[in-house]
Chains A and B, each alone.
Chain A
Amino acid sequence: MNTKGFGPYLRGLRRHRGLSLKQVEREAGVSNAYLSQIERDLRKPPHPDILNRLAKVYDVPSSDLLIAAGYVQNLAEKDITREKIDQAFEHVIHHPKFRHGTRLKGSALSLDAKRFIVEMYEKMRDEKLL
């Protein structure tokens, strides 16, 4: 389980929401000193219960924090074939009620990017494709 970089990731989420450590302490009930140590990678990622509370404050899915903390296996690590991803992606891009776009470096979508888009579709439409 590799959780190096979890601290800076968590700090990035907090700063993106424009919150101070004390504000997070108030909203999530997590000590600001403890949070500060986690953000500096001085402590291990916290218990999933705490991650769930932080996810609400940072307005991100709990699964994102659980994956980043190493508690849950990333879907990307599962063995999903290229063919299955391409099929699912075709379904997604032709769905009239799911509109999406992306800013890419270069112009071609990688398989990882296609899988990511399919996973976002699954999450937002609550529909399983992979």
Chain B
Amino acid sequence: MDALATTTETKNIADFCADVVLRHRENWPPSEDALAQEFVEKFLPELPSSPKRITEIADRLGIKTSLRVLPDGMHGFNCSTEEETVILLSEQEAFPGSREHTFFHELREIMEYDFRDQGWATMRGSDAEKRAEQFATWMRMTLFAKDFGHLIEQAQGVKETWKRWLAFAGVVVLFLGVGLGYALLPYFEENFPRTR
């Protein structure tokens, strides 16, 4: 690992992107799962509660976010000027977790602006949407994995052996189910009509 990578203090998305470049420039671009894990470690060491998660993360990053009625087919929108960065999320979503997924998708696009500014673009053409989608899925999986760790600890605390194994099995089934749900969300959104 580059020594500089450990000495740069990460304060905002641009700093984070600079750190990522330092760490991964020998093997560019980094995978989206690695990027998601590093992002969570830098900005979300302690987990915001789920209902307020989006607004809390946005506040930490200095991004304005709000719900809007967006044009048909638009899940979310991000834009930046010299003064501010805004993420708008559709008020009408049919699936739970859609807004969080879209928020992370938009966040990845905002990160890409900084990568480009620094001369280290990671996305080109149609690849861009795919990578932003992957990042969003990995962000949600990474955050869920942190919850999963707590559940495993709770299961370990069960005294009776058979109940402990039952608890482990339950946690594993939950992990697989939620993981599958996160991974398939874009497919469901694409193939089923949006309703209020």
A-to-B contact residues, CB < 8 Å: 5, 8-9, 12-13, 15-18, 58-60, 64, 68, 97-107, 110, 112-113, 115-117, 120-121, 124-125
B-to-A contact residues, CB < 8 Å: 51-52, 54-55, 64-82, 84, 86, 88-89, 91, 102, 105-106, 109-110, 112-113, 126, 129, 132, 189-190, 194, 196
Taking a contact as CB atoms under 8 Å apart, the answer to whether B106 and A101 are in contact is: yes
- Count of inter-chain pairs, beta carbons less than 8 A: 101
A sample of 30 inter-chain contacts (CB < 8 A) reads A60-B66, A60-B67, A64-B68, A68-B69, A98-B81, A99-B79, A100-B77, A100-B78, A100-B80, A101-B77, A101-B78, A101-B106, A101-B112, A101-B132, A102-B76, A102-B78, A103-B74, A103-B102, A104-B73, A104-B75, A105-B74, A105-B190, A106-B73, A107-B126, A110-B73, A112-B72, A116-B70, A116-B71, A116-B77, A117-B79
Name the contact of A9 in the complex, choosing from B73, B75, B91, B110 (C-beta under 8 A). Answer: B91
- Name the A residues within 8 Å of B52 (CB-CB): 18
Does more than half of chain B's interface fall in helix, strand or loop, or is it mixed?
mixed
- Name the B residues within 8 Å of A116 (CB-CB): 70-71, 74, 77
Taking a contact as CB atoms under 8 Å apart, the answer to whether A121 and B79 are in contact is: yes
* Residue of B79, B106, B126, B190 with most partner-chain A CB within 10 A: B79
